[in-house]
């Protein structure tokens, strides 16, 4: 789906030839301003950033829940998320 967000990608699809084989065929057609390899690399990088954001959000909410369970106050900053008491994680 990430490839479909790129305006230079005209078509992106995949095929799984056989379910018992570890093989997937990815087909990417792009405009002349981008190559399929560039589009694929950009999509992977974007997905990596999204997954990192989700991981951080999960860790923050998990830490917040742990602090609430232990009756501790949670302090959050833009880049720094921590509990006020060291025993809270």
- Torsion angle of the four alpha carbons 41, 46, 47, 50, in this order, in degrees rounded to the nearest 10: 160
What number of CA atoms fall less than 13 Å from residue 80's CA on the CB side?
4
Question: 57 falls in which pLDDT band (50, 70, 90)?
Answer: confident
- pLDDT above 90 for 17: yes
Is the pTM for the entire model greater than 0.85?
A: no
Which residue segment(s) compose the domain that 18 sits in? 2-83
Residue 13 belongs to domain with CATH number: 3.30.1360.10
Question: Is 40 part of a structural domain of the chain?
Answer: yes
Q: Are strands 74-76 and 25-30 parallel, antiparallel or unpaired?
A: unpaired
- Assess if residue 63 is contained within a domain: yes
**Is there a contact between 25 and 17 (Cβ–Cβ < 8 Å)?**
yes
Total domains, the chain? 1
3-state secondary structure of 18: coil
């Amino acid at each position: 789906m990430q490839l479909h967000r790129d305006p230079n990608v005209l078509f992106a699809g995949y095929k799984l030839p056989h379910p018992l084989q570890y093989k997937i065929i990815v087909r990417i057609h792009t405009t002349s301003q981008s190559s399929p390899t560039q589009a694929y690399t950009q999509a992977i990088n974007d997905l990596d950033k999204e997954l990192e954001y989700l991981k951080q959000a999960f860790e923050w909410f998990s830490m917040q829940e742990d602090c609430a369970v232990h009756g501790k106050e949670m302090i959050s900053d833009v880049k720094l998320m921590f509990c006020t008491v060291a025993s809270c994680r």
